[in-house]
Amino acid sequence: MNQYRDALQTIGKAVALAENSYQRKPNEVKILAVSKRHSIEAIQALYDCGQKAFGENYTQELVMKAEQLSKLGIEWHFIGPIQSNKTRLIAATADWVHTIDRLKIAERLSQQRPQEREDLSVCIQVNISREASKSGVMPESLRMLAEQIIRLPRLKLRGLMVIPAATSSFELQRSAFAETRKHFDYLNQTLPLSTPMDTLSMGMSGDMDAAIAEGATMVRIGTALFGQRPI
């Protein structure tokens, strides 16, 4: 229990320090607790310390945890790769989806979002480091996908999400996030949006500072909050 309070406080301080160092507004950066492979008890403990937004990568795990914790009022974010046969469960369960990278998935989520739920908040995942192994739309196809998504009912385009190529170089981390931010600003200036996008989902335990320096509004933190993931 104390372990979670301490971890949350440590990350909160690190975020506040980075906001201050890089001329960001206080509390502009939200922490998403990435709970994949961690237990219901661990989520409950972190929730009791005040953390309300949690991210999951696997559909079955999201559905099971959301069901078991349905009394709490957690905001659930889906942040894993999406297979088209899983969209119905995701549309019924998640409040946010960060990993839309093709039209087919967006169309299915749009069609399958239950009537009684609010519009689904979505981010487009961009393959900013152009890695063959990674999900995400290639940067040159981003604008077309965004144009298509904003026409779909029941989805609200909130922003962009990236997982850049892993590197320990702060400067290289920063440049991938800076490039993401350029795409974000360009889309916000040129798309016919009724409400501007407000979310840059970027930065994890290992590259959070660089992401905050370049405009992240949501950092996705697993290990630094929960410890190592069980295998």
Ligand X SMILES: *Cc1c(COP(=O)(O)O)cnc(C)c1O
Q: How far is the CB of 203 from ligand X (least distance, A)?
A: 9
Interaction between residue 57 and ligand X (CB under 6 A): yes
Interaction between residue 221 and ligand X (CB under 6 A): yes
CB atoms within 10 A of CB 49: 16
Closest CA to 159 of 30, 3, 63: 30
Question: Angle, to 10 degrees, between the axis of helix 40-48 and the axis of helix 2-21?
Answer: 60
| # of chain residues touching ligand X (CB under 6 A) | 13
* x-marked contacts with ligand X along 64-103 as a string, rule CB under 6 A: ---------------x------------------------
CB atoms within 10 A of CB 160: 25
- The residue from 5, 30, 36, 143 that contacts ligand X (CB under 6 A) is 36
Interaction between residue 15 and ligand X (CB under 6 A): no
- The residue from 50, 196, 206, 227 that contacts ligand X (CB under 6 A) is 206
Interaction between residue 160 and ligand X (CB under 6 A): no
CA atoms within 13 Å, Cβ hemisphere of 222? 15
Nearer to ligand X, 33 or 142 (CB): 33
What are the residues facing 161 on neighbouring strands? 125, 201
Closest CA to 33 of 204, 206, 194, 184: 204
Applying CB under 6 A, which residues contact ligand X? 34, 36, 57, 79, 163, 204-206, 220-224
